[in-house]
Each structure stands twice: as structure tokens, then as C-alpha cells.
Chain A
Amino acid sequence: MDGPSMDRRTTTERKSDRELIVTRTFDAPVRIVFEAWSKPDLFMRWWAPKSMGVPLLSCEMDVRTGGKYRLEFGRDSSSSAAFFGKYLEVIPNSKIVWTNDEGEEGAVTTVTFDEQDGKTLVVFSELYPSKEALDEAFTGMEEVMPEQFEQLDELLQSVGA
């Protein structure tokens, strides 16, 4: 409706020493955005985009309060890494809160969905138990980065060609 002027930019903010926030507005009612977030077959299609470099092998999600999830990333099962945890709170079309149990000091993730005039604001927050835990989670990211940017460049080139 608003065309290119509509602000759909993804913003990231380090809210505090132990909290990261990501926001984005989607041009769709909340029921649709929530569906794409809570159904495994749909979730799998966007959570690990090609540019991330590591595909999602499997995805089990029981999106309700007390339910569990398990995501497996990797090129094949021998080199895969699993991410798992449970949903602490699920309010359909409004909020999902989950734990990240694969690490000693995993974050608690909260995502809220807020519809206004047919558009949905998504606010994603990761709250770590301490500054050290957050720093630890991001250690080594710079090392992964060049490879991923290379893959992104490759992808963009192949698309552009």
C-alpha cells in the first residue's frame, strides 16, 4: 500500500549488556505472521536462509506453553548441530517465549507480534543471564563471518547473472 516508502528495515539494537533486540514490520495481519512462525514446515523455509550458509536439516516444534522444540542445522547428519529448548509462554497471535537449552547459559528469547492497520510489528529479543554469556555466544562469530559473506556474494552473483 505504501510502496517502497514503507519502513520494512530490520533493526538491531544492543539494549543492554545482556539483551539484544531485533525489530521488523511485515505487511500482513498478525495471524499470517504468527502462522509462518509457529508451523514447522513454514518456519523451516525462512529460519535458515541460504545466505546463512548452514541449512536446517530438521525442525520439530510444539508451539504451546510447555511444549518443546528441536532444530538441527548442518550439511548432513554427521556434522549437524542441534538447538533445543521449551516454550515458556505461548499466546497465539501475540507472543512466544522460549528457552535455548543447548548452552550452559542459554538466552531466553521473546518474540511479540503487534498488529496495527493490517501490518504486524515483530519484536524479537534475546535476554542472556549475564554479559559474559552474551559475549560468549558471539565469540567466534567474526571468524564465521567472512565465509558466510562469501557465500552471500556467490548467491548474489548467481542471482544477478
Chain B
Amino acid sequence: MVQYAHLDDSFAALSDPTRRGVLEQLGRDDASITELADKFHMTLTGMKKHVGILERAGLITTQKVGRVRTCKLGMARLEEEIAWIEWYRRIWDARFTALDEVVEELKKKEKQDGRTKHG
């Protein structure tokens, strides 16, 4: 089974309606934590917590310029991770398919050799 280390984080982050709302909002435009707190009628501390969870899950990225921390959508890590683990799997699948051919050949050879030896 393929396991993505960060998927659990992502699903946990998405399980909360406020955080889903924040993602939707950031899909329209970048926003500061203060703006998000206003929009969702929350304290700054409460919004900071949500933003932190989204950021750790790789769903958004934040950047602090001066005293303002701006948030924007950042799905990149999740997509990248799935992309490279799939790439990795394909490489290995191709390798092992080729190894299968070598193995089959050796098996055949062993059988033939066995036949010759034992008449």
C-alpha cells in the first residue's frame, strides 16, 4: 500500500469548516491573518492556530513582510509528493519488470542445464 506521510496532516487540516473556508477564501486572493480573522469573526490568536495547521499540512504558505503575515494557497508540496512517489514507483516497476525477464531466463537456463546433467 502506498502511504503518503503528509496526507494525514492534510485530511486533519481539511476536517474543520473554518479551515476549509480559509482555503476557499485564499483561492480567491491572498490575505493577511488579520484580514482572515475579521472575515471569519475570530480572534487573531484563533486564526493563527488555524493558519498554523494549514501551513504544517502544506496546504498554504505564509510570508511575513514587516508586521503583516500574508497567507496564500500552497498545495504544491502535496502534489509534488504524490508526483515523485508515483515517479519512484514507476521507475521501480520498470526495473522489476526487466528483472523479471532476467529471472525467467535464468530459470529456463537452470531447467535446461538440469535436463542435460540428469539426462
Considering only CB atoms and an 8 Å cut-off, how many residues of chain B contact the other chain? 30
Interface size on A, as a range, is 35 or more
Alpha-carbon separation in the docked complex, A36 to B100 (Å): 9
B84 and A51 form a contact (CB under 8 A): no
Residues of A within 8 A of B96 (CB): 10, 24, 26, 46, 122
Give the Cβ gap from B89 to chain A, nearest Cβ, in Å.
4
Of chain B, the residue at the smallest CB distance from A42 is: B102
Q: A11-B2, A12-B2, A142-B80 known; A46 and B87 CB under 8 Å?
A: no
B84 and A142 form a contact (CB under 8 A): yes
A36 and B103 form a contact (CB under 8 A): yes
B94 and A124 form a contact (CB under 8 A): no
A46 and B102 form a contact (CB under 8 A): yes
Interface residues of B: mostly helix, strand, loop or mixed?
helix
B100 and A26 form a contact (CB under 8 A): yes
B92 and A12 form a contact (CB under 8 A): yes
Of chain A, the residue at the smallest CB distance from B107 is: A28
Assess whether B106 is interfacial by the CB under 8 Å rule: yes
Assess whether B115 is interfacial by the CB under 8 Å rule: no
Task: Determine which of B83, B92, B100 lies in contact with A142 in the assembled complex, contact meaning CB atoms within 8 Å.
Answer: B83
A12 and B89 form a contact (CB under 8 A): yes
Chain B interface (Cβ within 8 Å of chain A)? Answer: 1-5, 80, 83-85, 87-104, 106-107, 110
Chain A interface (Cβ within 8 Å of chain B)? Answer: 8, 10-17, 20, 22, 24, 26-28, 32-33, 35-37, 42, 45-47, 49, 51-52, 122, 124, 138, 141-142, 145, 148, 152
Question: What are 7 A-B interface contacts by the 8 Å CB criterion?
Answer: A26-B100, A36-B106, A42-B102, A42-B106, A142-B87, A145-B83, A145-B87
Q: Which 7 A/B pairs are nearest by Cβ-Cβ distance?
A: A46-B98, A46-B99, A10-B93, A12-B89, A49-B98, A49-B94, A51-B94
Apart from the given pairs A14-B3, A145-B83, 8 other A-B contacts in the complex at a CB distance below 8 Å: A10-B93, A12-B85, A26-B99, A32-B107, A45-B102, A46-B101, A141-B87, A145-B87
